[in-house]
C-alpha cells in the first residue's frame, strides 16, 4: 500500500492578487487532487438515473455508506418510478429506517415516484429546470444527477465543497449558488463534475471541517488555509479518516502520494463492485459529488 507523506510547507500560500493568478493556483490544486484521487466519483451506489436520484434524496442527514446499505433492498423491491409511486408507506419505512428521518424520506420518495409517473412518463428528466421541480430535489441534488447519471457537467456545492472552496480562497461566500457560480468561472465546464468529486473526497478524507490534517495534505503548498489544522505530519496522519467501507482485505489507507507517485489502485472501489466509472456516469470518474 502506498502511504507516503508530503513535506508540509513552512507557511500558508497567499491568495494571488490577480484573477489570473487565482485561476492558476486553483487549477494547480485541482490537478493535484485529481492525481490524489483519480478514482473519485459519486460515493452513492446506483445503476440508473432514478437510483441516483433516490439515493441522493436519502443521503440527507446521513452518510453515503449508510444509504448504500439500504438501496440494494429498496431498488430490488421498487425497481421503477411506478413501483415507488404505489409503494405501501409502512413497508418502505421499514427499509429506510436505518437512514434516519425515514418517515419523511418515505413520503418524499413515494411522491417523487408519483410525480415522475404523472409528469415525465416515469423517467428522470435530464434538465436542471425540470429536476428542481421534483419534490425533494434542490439544485445540489439536480447537479449530482446531471453530472453523474447524464454526463452534464455540474458543480455540486455540498458542505464539503463549500468549506474547501473558502479555504482555498476560491470564494468567500457561504451561499451555495454564489459558490457554484464563482468557482465555475475558474474552471472549464468539462472539469466541473470531477472537480466536485475530488474536492468532496479531499474534504471527507483530509481537509475535515474541524480538524484538517494539513501536515499530510497534498495541496498544502498552494493552500491559503494551511495551518488551520494540524501541521505536524505524525499528528495529522492520526486525524485521517475514511467514509467508504474498507475494500476486501482490510483497512483502506489514504493513498498519499509523493510528487509523481502512483496511487494504490486497490484503494479504489466501484459501484457494487463494478469498475469505478458507473454505467450511467458520463462524468463520474472523469468522465458528484456529494
Closest residue by Cα to residue 29 from 191, 162, 168: 168
207 annotated as ligand-binding? yes
Q: Is position 162 an interface residue for ligand SF4 (rule: CB under 6 A)?
A: no
Closer residue to ligand SF4, CB minimum distance, 11 or 248: 11
- Active-site residue numbers? 140, 158
Residue span 210-249 as binding mask against ligand SF4, x where in contact by CB under 6 A, dash where not: --xxx--x-xx--x-xx-xx--------------------
In angstroms, the CA 269 to CA 199 distance is 18
Residues 6+ apart with CB under 8 A from 266: 1, 247, 249
Instruction: Give min distance, CB of 240 to ligand SF4, in A.
Output: 10
Closer residue to ligand SF4, CB minimum distance, 117 or 223: 223
Closer residue to ligand SF4, CB minimum distance, 50 or 254: 254
214 annotated as ligand-binding? yes
223 annotated as ligand-binding? yes
Rule CB under 6 A: which of 166-195 touch ligand SF4? 167
Q: How many residues bind ligand SF4 (CB under 6 A)?
A: 14
In angstroms, the CA 109 to CA 14 distance is 46
In angstroms, the CA 158 to CA 173 distance is 13
Helices (H) and strands (E) in the chain, counts: 12, 0
The span of 78-86, 140-148, 206-214, 248-256 binding ligand SF4 (CB under 6 A) equals 206-214
Cα dist from 136 to 108, 149, 230, whole Å: 6, 18, 38
Give the residue carrying C-alpha cell 432514478: 50
Q: Say how many C-beta atoms besides its own lie within 10 A of residue 144's C-beta.
A: 28
Instruction: Please say whether the beta carbons of 22 and 186 come within 8 A.
Output: yes
Rule CB under 6 A: which of 113-152 touch ligand SF4? none
**Known binding residues for [4Fe-4S] cluster:** 207, 214, 217, 223
**Known binding residues:** 207, 214, 217, 223
Kindly list the residues in this chain that would bind ligand SF4 in the complex (CB under 6 A): 167, 206-207, 212-214, 217, 219-220, 223, 225-226, 228-229
Amino acid at each position: 500500500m502506498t502511504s507516503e507523506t508530503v513535506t508540509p510547507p513552512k507557511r500558508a500560500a497567499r491568495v494571488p492578487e490577480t484573477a489570473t493568478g487565482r485561476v492558476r493556483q486553483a487549477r494547480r490544486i485541482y490537478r493535484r487532487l485529481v492525481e490524489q484521487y483519480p478514482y473519485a466519483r459519486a460515493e452513492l451506489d446506483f445503476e440508473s438515473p432514478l437510483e441516483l436520484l433516490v439515493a441522493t434524496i436519502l443521503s440527507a442527514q446521513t452518510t453515503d455508506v449508510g444509504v448504500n446499505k439500504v438501496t440494494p433492498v429498496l431498488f430490488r423491491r421498487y425497481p421503477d418510478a411506478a413501483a415507488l409511486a404505489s409503494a405501501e408507506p409502512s413497508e418502505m419505512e421499514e427499509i429506510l429506517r436505518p437512514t434516519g428521518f425515514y418517515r419523511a424520506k418515505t413520503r418524499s420518495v413515494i411522491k417523487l415516484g408519483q410525480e415522475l409517473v404523472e409528469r415525465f412518463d416515469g423517467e428522470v428528466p435530464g434538465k436542471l429546470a425540470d429536476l428542481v421541480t421534483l419534490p425533494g430535489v434542490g439544485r445540489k441534488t439536480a447537479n449530482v444527477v446531471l453530472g453523474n447519471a447524464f454526463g452534464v457537467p455540474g458543480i455540486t456545492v455540498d458542505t464539503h465543497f463549500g468549506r474547501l472552496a473558502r479555504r482555498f480562497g476560491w470564494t468567500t461566500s457561504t451561499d451555495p449558488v454564489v459558490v457554484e457560480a464563482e468557482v465555475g468561472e475558474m474552471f472549464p465546464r468539462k472539469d466541473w463534475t470531477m472537480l466536485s468529486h475530488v474536492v468532496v473526497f479531499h474534504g471527507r478524507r483530509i481537509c475535515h471541517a474541524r480538524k484538517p490534517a494539513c501536515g499530510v495534505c497534498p495541496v498544502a503548498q498552494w493552500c491559503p488555509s494551511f495551518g488551520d489544522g494540524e501541521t505536524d505530519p505524525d499528528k495529522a496522519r492520526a486525524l485521517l479518516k475514511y467514509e467508504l467501507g474498507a475494500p476486501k482485505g482490510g483497512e483502506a489507507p489514504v493513498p498519499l502520494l509523493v510528487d509523481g507517485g502512483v496511487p494504490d489502485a486497490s484503494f479504489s472501489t466501484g459501484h457494487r463492485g463494478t469498475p469505478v466509472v458507473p454505467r450511467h456516469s458520463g462524468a463520474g470518474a472523469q468522465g458528484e459529488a456529494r
